Structure 1
Amino acid sequence: MSTSSQPQFRYTQTPSKVLHLRNLPWECMEEELVELGKPFGKIVNTKINVGPNRNQAFVEFADLNQAISMVSYYASSSEPAQIRGKTVYIQYSNRHEIVNNKSLGDVPGNVLLVTIEGVEAGDVSIDVIHLVFSAFGFVHKIATFEKAAGFQALIQFTDAETASAARNALDGRSIPRYLLPQHVGSCHLRISYSAHTDLNIKFQSHRSRDYTNPYLPVNPTAIEGLMQPIVGPDGKKKEPESNVLLASIENMQYAVTVDVLHTVFSAFGTVQKIAMFEKNGGTQALVQYPDVTTAALAKESLEGHCIYDGGYCLQ
């Protein structure tokens, strides 16, 4: 019997062929639940990613005795049930079947869960991921994160058809060698469908992007990473050349908007994106051009100049 402070089982419940699993890894997949239950019998239905933290699930065995067998085994085993190294807590469900749910299978959705095997976080940039998956259609959003399973990404497409095309083409394949750092020998993509339908991206950063919203604020930590000084041969700091300008707006006596900045900076070329934010008590903006040359021209022309007479300056 388990003697831990948080027992894996509750013994007061009536046995059911539906088991309730708690403390699952985030984005746990049906295949992992089937694998856990395989020694005890056939799982015929599941309901995954439930609960406030999306870390619970229900699994339904074909036969009541199979569910009892699984509960009994882990109740007397010194080794807890585990998925990806996390202890899974199992109890009988008060329901006796899973209804109004898709039958077990890899049901297509518009969001893919991609595990990039053989790399560390930072080896594969979000821009590389975007480049690879954009070959199949417009990528709306990307969120990357590190889990016990490895470096993972959620990639949102317009619809399930586009996501399916990307999955069918890339699952089990490797990211092209020329897009990987030299120290990475090879990497493999393991792709499944996510239960998500619309990712909630709060900031543009090196970990997450929303390609549908150019006005989404940029994470300040991402900005600081971009603005690391470069030291020239003479030992003096010089700014790295980039197609993105950081504009500090001072002496503000008029309202400043994205539209005003767009008008001013568009005089020098196509402005792709503008992101405004507050930092250190002042207003700043990131302005993205298609190339470094256009950005350099705009910087040289506008730096230190006023937009309005007596208004505010761009540094």
Structure 2
Amino acid sequence: MASGGNPQFRYTQPPSKVIHVRNLPWECTDEELTELGSLFGKVVNTKCNVGANRNQAFIEFADQNQAIAMISYYASSAEPAQVRGKNVYLQYSNRQEIVNSKNTGDAAGNVLLVTMEGVLPDAVSIDVLHLVFSAFGYVHKIATFEKASGYQALIQFSDAETASSAKAALDGRCIPSYLLPELDGSCTLRINYSAHSVLNVKFQSHRSRDYTNPYLPLAPSAIDGSGVAQDGKKEEPESNVLLASVENMQYIVTIDALHEVFSAFGFVQKIAIFEKNSGFHALIQYPDIQTAVKAREALEGHSIYEGGYCKLHLAFSRHTDLNVRVMHHSLVMSKFGITKCTIVLGNKDFDAPGKTTCAI
């Protein structure tokens, strides 16, 4: 570290004419990087939005001495390097030049990765995305999700040519405001090619759609607060048992965590958790329908953990009384001929303290 004690600068690499910049603001531009480095010499190349969070970049100078001048200045300066008022961290790169080789985000494919800027998650529906992208060809599948980099979607076309034409026309453009009448501001599309070639869509829902398979089952998460599913089907009759589907699982969801969340609305009698179609689900039993309705209205669409993690989608189950039996893991596995049990949590009957069972 430099004598000035500036934590922005790290002597981790020998000098290079390429500087590695970290902690950049979201969607930093080439112009901003050029402006940052131009005080010290001629910037001949830049590369933005590098790394998993797309908050890193590279600046290449015409001469190594210019890069040394930049590093030396900020290593001893009391004023840190900044982009848009945000402190950024500098070090020499382990490369001597920026090579803009193709990677998975640059190689053309039939699936596009779309980042929607300026909107909250779910502010742009799958129907709007389908309307926008189907103007360029038949859209097979769409899946939307939340990541640290923002609200994103994967759009699968028939071939790379169709995807390329859509990317060329829409990258950097805004979704027409008349398609998003409730949105204040604009939604800008940033489009890259995905490494995927086929999306695995198991349910039709508000987060995923397979236009090639109209018989795909409807997910519980596709049911909105009005009681009508997105495909027009009636919601299941009300029940004292809720079916919870958990998405964006960045943390393990335990029975105790579910009990703490759902018991805020009344006495929870039983909880059963299970995995189905690679998804995490739970059944929560209340003594009466009224308590279940109250919990569903309060918790639908909310997350167990801050940051949108472990988001709940709730529907009424056809069950009215969960059969939580006392069974040892080995007995369950022997009975069903199972040699490997992948469920590690279980069920719990809160009317019978101390009794647990393996969830199959």
TM-score (norm 1): 0.53
Displacement after TM superposition at 1:131 (Å): 1.7
Residue matched to 1:187: 186
Gaps of 5+ in 1: 231-238, 249-274, 283-302, 305-315
| Deviations 1:2-56, CA, capped at 9 Å, x for gaps | 646xx11124643211222334567766666455445543242548634x76654
Aligned length: 236
* Alpha carbons of structure 1 residues 18 and 120: separation in structure 2 relative to 1, 3 Å: same
Post-superposition Cα deviations, 1:277-308, rounded to whole Å, max 9, x if no partner, equal: 754189xxxxxxxxxxxxxxxxxxxx99xxxx
Deviation at 1:206, TM superposition (A): 7.2
AA matched with 2:134: S
Residues 1:89 and 2:89 aligned together: yes
Do the aligned partners of residues 218 and 27 (structure 1) sit closer, same or farther apart at CA in structure 2, a change above 3 Å counting?
farther
1:169 correspondence with 2:150:
no
Aligned residues of 2:29 and 2:48 also touching (Cα < 8 A): no
Are 1:240 and 2:228 matched, yes or no?
yes
Q: Which amino acid aligns with 1:82?
A: V
Pairing 1:23-34 to 2, within 5 Å after superposition: 23-24=23-24, 33-34=33-34
Tell me, yes or no, if structure 1 residue 280 matches structure 2 residue 278.
no
Distance 2:161 2:43 in 1: 30
Confirm whether residue 74 of structure 1 aligns to residue 94 of structure 2. no
> Residue type matched to 1:189 in 2?
T
- Partner-residue secondary structure (3-state), 1:21: strand
Residues 81-230 of structure 1: matches in 2 within 5 Å? 81-82=82-83, 87-99=87-99, 101-102=101-102, 109-110=108-109, 111-117=112-118, 119-139=119-139, 140-145=141-146, 152-158=151-157, 160-171=160-171, 173-181=173-181, 183-184=182-183, 187=186, 189-191=188-190, 193-194=191-192, 196-198=194-196, 208-209=207-208, 211=210, 222-223=221-222, 226-228=223-225, 230=226
What does the per-residue CA deviation read over 1:111-160, in whole Å, with 9 as the maximum and x for residues that have no partner? 3544444x554543232122211211244444354878xx6534444455
3-state SS of 1:96 partner: coil
CA distance in 1: counterparts of 2:147 and 2:10, whole angstroms: 32
SS in 2 for 1:280: strand
State the distance in 2 between where 1:28 and 1:163 align. 25
> Unaligned regions of 5+ residues in structure 2, if any?
238-276, 286-317, 320-360
Sequence identity, in percent?
A: 42
Residues 156-196 of structure 1, C-alpha deviations (whole Å, 9 max, x = no match): 44455333422443356543343222x446525353x4364
- CA distance in structure 2 between the partners assigned to 1:101 and 1:62 by the alignment: 20
> 2:115·2:151 contact (CA, 8 Å) conserved in 1?
yes
8 Å CA contact retained: 2:16, 2:92? yes
Residues 250-265 of structure 1: pairs in structure 2 closer than 5 A: none
1:37-48 residue pairs with structure 2 within 5 A? 37-40=37-40, 41-44=42-45, 46=47
Output one character per residue of 1:237-265: Cα deviation in whole Å (capped at 9) or x when no partner.
xx4365246669xxxxxxxxxxxxxxxxx
Whole-angstrom distance in 1 between the partners of 2:172 and 2:89: 31
Distance in 1 of aligned mates of 2:209 and 2:95 = 39
Q: Distance in 2 between matches of 1:203 and 1:31?
A: 42
Matched residue SS, 1:128: helix
Instruction: Provide the C-alpha distance between the structure 2 equivalents of 1:196 and 1:16, rounded to a whole number of angstroms.
Output: 32
Contact preservation (8 Å) 1:74, 1:81: no
Report if aligned partners of 1:172, 1:188 keep a CA contact under 8 Å in 2: no
Asked if the contact 2:32/2:83 (under 8 Å) is kept, the reply is no
In 2: Cα distance, 1:35 partner to 1:163 partner: 34
Residues 135 and 95 (structure 1), Cα distance of their counterparts in 2 relative to 1, 3 Å cut: same
Q: Is the 8 A contact 1:114 1:155 kept in 2?
A: no
Aligned equivalent of 2:14: 14
1:156/1:198 contact within 8 Å kept: no
The answer on whether the counterparts of 1:126 and 1:144 sit within 8 Å (CA) in structure 2 is no
Do the aligned partners of residues 227 and 23 (structure 1) sit closer, same or farther apart at CA in structure 2, a change above 3 Å counting? same
Q: What is the aligned partner in structure 1 of residue 315 from structure 2?
A: none
